[in-house]
A and B are shown apart, each in its own frame.
Chain A
Amino acid sequence: MIDKKWIGHVLPESILPIERTRLQFFAKATGETRAEYLDVSSARGAGYADLPAPPTFLMAAELDSGAVDELLRDLQIPLSKLLHGEQGFTYHQPVCAGDTITVRSIISDVYEKKNGSLEFVVKDSRALNQRNELVAELRSVLVCRH
């Protein structure tokens, strides 16, 4: 059982410098071949300051920093039982290579279904850039299966 006391828990902040080579790697890994995601001059031609971070890329912030691993340890959710239930993004500003993104998250809910055979953890996050502008909001629903 995941203790409801974790509702309101604030995760340590995660800082993700957005790097061109990582974005190019992400494009390769997702089958993205369009020039604006791979080539800086094409990205600028498309109106971006530099290579744009694709819509789902910001998940990397709390994976790279270890914040997600720490959360799973705290909540005692083993990786072998973890599933991703839902994911949402609300976008406010473009994120491009050269930006530095800070993600701050809070656990906003913990609940169960099917008599506790599935437990759910809801994490809400805000992502800000180096100018302290809100660039995106993220909502993750993690599932622990028993």
Chain B
Amino acid sequence: MISFDTVQIGDELPPLSIPPVNRSMLALFAGASGDHNPIHIDVDFARRAGMPDVFAQGMLGMAWLARLLTGWAPQSGLRRLDVRFMGITHLGNAMRCGGRIIEKLDRDGERRVRIELQSANQFGEKKIVGEAWVALP
């Protein structure tokens, strides 16, 4: 069990590796998330929009970062999750989500850690960077 006292600044969360993005993943996420923008699921639409092919929803990449966090500590301790989308996640990109503790603090009567987040593809290209605050026992 993770606790505030056992984690240190600089500790890395166990990374989460995602299988390469394929069209089925994008179609399923469109339905499950409610984001029906055809640019993620209809190659004809994507090409008319000037893209070489469909590409992943930003929120799919953010959902994977959320899994990194909730796989590490219970979701009930998650206080903030903020990300910036840096680049398009393409078909075939195999994302690796990682996090590192950068601060330990007392806030609002509980003990929290601040975590620096990023997801990058197999070529090391960063696609999402961000931060989370997690309260720990």
Measuring CB to CB, which residues of chain A are less than 8 angstroms from any residue of chain B?
Answer: 22, 25-26, 28-32, 34, 46-48, 52, 54-57, 59-60, 63-64, 79-91, 94, 139
State the total of A-B contacts with C-beta under 8 angstroms: 109
Minimal beta-carbon separation of A51 from chain B (angstroms): 11
The reply to whether B62 and A29 form a contact with Cβ atoms under 8 Å apart is no
20 additional A-B residue pairs with CB within 8 Å, beyond A30-B29, A88-B82: A25-B31, A26-B33, A29-B25, A29-B29, A29-B32, A29-B33, A30-B32, A30-B64, A46-B74, A54-B66, A55-B66, A59-B35, A63-B34, A63-B35, A79-B39, A83-B85, A86-B84, A87-B58, A91-B78, A94-B76
Minimal beta-carbon separation of B120 from chain A (angstroms): 17
When distances are taken between beta carbons in the complex, the residues of chain B under 8 Å from A46 are 74
In the bound complex, CA of A22 to CA of B37 (Å): 19
Residue in B29, B60, B79 whose beta carbon sits within 8 Å of that of A90 in the complex: B79
Task: Classify the secondary structure of A's interface with B.
Answer: mixed
Minimal beta-carbon separation of B65 from chain A (angstroms): 9
Measuring CB to CB, which residues of chain B are less than 8 angstroms from any residue of chain A?
Answer: 18-19, 25, 28-29, 31-39, 45, 48-50, 57-60, 62-64, 66-67, 69-71, 74-76, 78-85
The reply to whether B32 and A25 form a contact with Cβ atoms under 8 Å apart is yes
Minimal beta-carbon separation of B108 from chain A (angstroms): 11
